[in-house]
Structure 1
Amino acid sequence: MHRRTIAPGALAAASLLLAIPASAASGSAGAPGIGDPYYPNYGNGGYDVSHYDLRLTYRPATDELAGTATIRARTTQALSRFDLDFLLDVSEVRVNGAKAAFTLSGEHELEITPKTPLAEGAPVTVVVRYSGVPSAKSAYGFTTWHRTPDGAVAADEPEAAWWWFPSNDHPSDKATYDVSVAVPDGTQALSNGTLQSTSSKLGWTRYNWRQNKPQATYLATLAVGRFDITTGTSEGGVPVVNAYSKDLGDNDGAARASVERTGEIVDWLSGWFGPYPFGSAGGYVPNTTTGYALETQTRVYYSPRQFASGSNTSVVVHELAHQWYGDDVSIAGWKDIWINEGFARYAQWLWSEHEGEGTTRELADYVYASHPADDAFWTVKPGDPGPDHQFDIAVYDRGALAVQALRDAVGDDAFFAILKGWPKEHAYGNASVADFRQYAERVSGKPLAALFDTWLFQPAKPGAPAARAASVAKAPTAAVQPRSWKKIEATDDVHAG
């Protein structure tokens, strides 16, 4: 599914009410899910969001969050009712200025009935006032709101928004964001994009963040706590903001030795993927007990456990590669996850070669040889792994093998043109695996359907290409392990899935 592109400011300019017969305006209820087969109740039907404005207050001591979300959208059908994905307690909803009826239902549905039905193609402003204790809420038996000793973090995949703002929670509906958060003095609030301003009053400090490029809901992040914040600019001119909890303990040095190389890595990745697509970069390491990292747009989330065994720039490369593959160009549906993870993993292989710790060929040969034909690794189909295997290691490693196979098939010139051209082709939009195959065929001039089917969709170990058969036909115990492998392997739990 591709979201319709809405030019910046188009909704604000479209203030004219549509004059249509009442019968046509009565509409029907928007679907409680956007239509993704992996997660049928994620996202919602009937509208397309262009902007989220979140004005929040958070009390770390009690985990109380209160705020107002103003959502700008446009209907894609006539609506008598529509849903948002949300969990906290709602006190008031307004649609186009008028109070609307609402109720919470299911695991995460906020059902809204506007006073006046909405016509198809109409601009809509939805205001939701809410409050609650996010850590006290769960859906499907889990939470993605992570308490820390001095605050909390919202960062998870494929869902995280429900615990802190109402949304159309699916990557196919991207929007821009303003996130304003008031926290007690001495505590900081981090979010995506650039910090526009801060202000202090009566023991509270308000942080105003802006993400001015389209962003998927699961890529929106909020972190509150006591951080040491560093700022700088990469040689290529990208502003960098990094943050570290002040109580990271033994992991502090390794975390900083890794994340502080963000600017360098962004510039290096730009050589492979094209200009960095956003106005800032960076990462943060809060004192959480989770084990994963996540490519939250412009402000990557890293668990301190990613650095428990020492510095690891490989995980930084992985998450920053997602800024192009996953954040700039987002998946059309969750089955397209290979576009995110296969290329982020391959970026780690490129970094290994850059660091002189194993070439992409050596890594591909090692991964291929390390999994015998009867290994369950080969039964996972990276091109459509299913929700139970969406973050299986095969999506990463077999996914990267598929990228190497593409490189072998089209040659380096076409391959690197594809790597750099894809983010430009679908900048700030959404695309599927099928879209990527068609693009790769167009750039390379070669038919690739059989290759994609073999490496991404068949539940069996592909045969080794003839040119590589001698190097990969070794027993797994005889395969030569590249020096970078342990660091790459340490990122195997890089996502929560």
Structure 2
Amino acid sequence: MTTSCTGSASRDGAAVASTPGAAGVGDRLFPALGNGGYDVAHYGLTLDYVPETNRLKGTAVITARAEQGLSRFDLDLSGLHVRQVTVQGVKARYTRAKDELLVTPAKPVMDGDTFKTVVTYDGTPRTIENDDGSREGWIETDDGSTALGQPAGSMTWFPGNHHPSDKATYDITVTVPKDEDGDPYDVVGNGELISEEDKGGTVTRHWRTEEPMADYLAHVSVGYFEVHKGRTGDDVPVYVAVDPDESEAAADVDVTALVPEIVDWGSERFGPYPFSSAGAIVDHLPGLDYALETQTKPYFDEAPDEKLLVHELAHQWFGNSVTPREWKDIWLNEGLATYAEWLWEEGQGGRSADEIFEDFYDGTDPESEGIWAFPPADPPDAARVSDPPVYGRGAMVVHKVREAVGDKTFFDVLRTWTRQHRHGNADTGQFIALCEDKAGKNLAKLFDVWLFGDKKPSRAR
């Protein structure tokens, strides 16, 4: 397809070509997600939300750096009504095409420039139903709502570059009314609570995430929560919010004590905890049937068991700090977080990792069903990106690496991985290269068979 170019003047007076940024970053599994031509540094989201009517008003201030001359650029946004768009303080033209917001600034943005786009919008935010029947996006609960974004749900409540390859920092400020009894709704988000202001009829809370975050990990929960605060052994602040309907079950699992314990445990094995706070959100959302590793505070639809808590907190290293470059690399999230469950069970006096591996291989572990359907590093389509091979067989790949290189080198690999790619993006090729570098030998056969192979490997391999 041919596009027309609009000329713009550079600082030295030379003509610089400006062209539209691409719609989509070319991800094989999710080609429409993300956008080309710019890199977002920061999202400033100011939201007004009314739980009783499920109405949202928002202003998104998006600070980005142009990676080419931009005559036009796209933002991902699903639903909602756009009222105004400005670029560098000047009104911009915009159109909608499905989940794309196409923005044409009054003057092209020059390559290398940092620019601010402000989008004002409102409406009833959507819930998306995925091909596998799961729900994401803005989901109403019995006392408010929650926003869940994997893989595409974040675009239902704010416009942006919604692909994990473009991470940014966030300020999320949410104003909610008090209920009919005059009690305020709670608002819980990523990062740290910067301020809380009671304005009589409304309460405003400001949450800040200073470490880069992928869009699918951005989160807001509105409702009623019991808040528990503490610190890890390394003095990381811990904020755990529990829906009163899940309070008893969460106490039985002792979520508030386990969160700091697991964070400290992970820090010893995977490297220093990568964020300035930790925590969890235990909501009451029957029928959701999944948890999500929302950054700093994993979200649970009900009180989790110990294993699930370990899994989602392990994601703070594997997936949240070190984020996949493309969605096909998600086995690096799920395989490593699943293997963290194995390490936890091994350390708690349960099955050894060897025994768990054998149970998965033999099909006797309850989570082993379907793990041979396709290679973990090559999901066939978007609908299967969270299928069993990505989790269970992904963990088996990790265990085969541990067998091949020995414990000392294996844990060195994990700590080096989280250090080298801290707050960045990485892919499968980089993980393989690191394993081989640390082991001092070629591991191609191992990965060809266990990670990329189409069939169930023989035990001899």
Tell me the distance in 2 between the aligned counterparts of 1:204 and 1:145: 21
- Residue 100 of structure 1 aligns with which residue? 92
**Which secondary structure does the structure 2 equivalent of 1:134 belong to?**
coil
The answer on whether the counterparts of 1:53 and 1:69 sit within 8 Å (CA) in structure 2 is: yes
**1:279 and 2:276 correspond:** yes
How far 1:138 sits from its partner (Å)? 7.7
Q: Which amino acid aligns with 2:451?
A: L
- Residue 161 of structure 2 aligns with which residue? 168
User: Which range moves more in the overlay, 241-250 or 399-408?
Assistant: 241-250
User: Which range moves more in the overlay, 386-395 or 286-295?
Assistant: 386-395
**1:270 and 2:262 correspond:** no
**Which secondary structure does the structure 2 equivalent of 1:262 belong to?**
helix
One of 409, 415, 426 as aligned partner of 2:404:
409
**1:383 and 2:374 correspond:** no
Q: Deviations over 1:254-278 (max 9, x none)?
A: 4x62354100100001111011000
- Residue 330 of structure 2 aligns with which residue? 337
- Residue 181 of structure 2 aligns with which residue? none
Q: 5+ unaligned residues in a row in structure 1: which ranges?
A: 1-16, 467-497
How far 1:21 sits from its partner (Å)? 4.9
Relative to structure 1, is the Cα distance of residues 138 and 370 closer, same or farther in structure 2, using a 3 angstrom cutoff?
Answer: closer
Tell me the distance in 2 between the aligned counterparts of 1:138 and 1:132: 19
The answer on whether the counterparts of 1:242 and 1:260 sit within 8 Å (CA) in structure 2 is: no
User: TM-score, length-normalised on structure 2?
Assistant: 0.91
Q: Which amino acid aligns with 1:460?
A: K
**Which secondary structure does the structure 1 equivalent of 2:63 belong to?**
strand
**1:182 and 2:175 correspond:** yes
Normalized per residue, the structure richer in helix is 1
- Residue 113 of structure 1 aligns with which residue? 104
Q: Which amino acid aligns with 2:449?
A: T
One of 30, 35, 59 as aligned partner of 1:44:
35
User: TM-score, length-normalised on structure 1?
Assistant: 0.85
Tell me how large the CA RMSD over aligned residues is: 2.0
Q: Deviations over 1:202-254 (max 9, x none)?
A: 31111111100000000000101111111110122111001111233774544
**1:451 and 2:446 correspond:** yes
Relative to structure 1, is the Cα distance of residues 407 and 97 closer, same or farther in structure 2, using a 3 angstrom cutoff?
Answer: same
Q: How does 1:298-447 map to 2 (within 5 A)?
A: 298-304=296-302, 307=304, 312-370=305-363, 377-386=371-380, 387-447=382-442
Tell me the distance in 2 between the aligned counterparts of 1:20 and 1:82: 24
How far 1:389 sits from its partner (Å)? 2.1
One of 226, 229, 233 as aligned partner of 1:231:
229
**Which secondary structure does the structure 1 equivalent of 2:207 belong to?**
strand
Relative to structure 1, is the Cα distance of residues 259 and 456 closer, same or farther in structure 2, using a 3 angstrom cutoff?
Answer: farther
- Residue 35 of structure 1 aligns with which residue? 26
One of 105, 120, 124 as aligned partner of 1:129:
120
- Residue 86 of structure 1 aligns with which residue? 77
Q: Deviations over 1:419-478 (max 9, x none)?
A: 111100111110000010011111111111221111111111112147xxxxxxxxxxxx
The answer on whether the counterparts of 1:81 and 1:111 sit within 8 Å (CA) in structure 2 is: yes
Give the number of equivalent residue pairs: 440
Tell me the distance in 2 between the aligned counterparts of 1:341 and 1:137: 22
How far 1:379 sits from its partner (Å)? 3.2
Tell me the distance in 1 between the aligned counterparts of 2:256 and 2:94: 44
Normalized per residue, the structure richer in strand is 2
Percent identity over the alignment? Answer: 43
Tell me the distance in 1 between the aligned counterparts of 2:299 and 2:357: 28
- Residue 191 of structure 1 aligns with which residue? 189
**1:292 and 2:283 correspond:** no
The answer on whether the counterparts of 2:169 and 2:213 sit within 8 Å (CA) in structure 1 is: yes
The answer on whether the counterparts of 2:127 and 2:137 sit within 8 Å (CA) in structure 1 is: no
- Residue 477 of structure 1 aligns with which residue? none
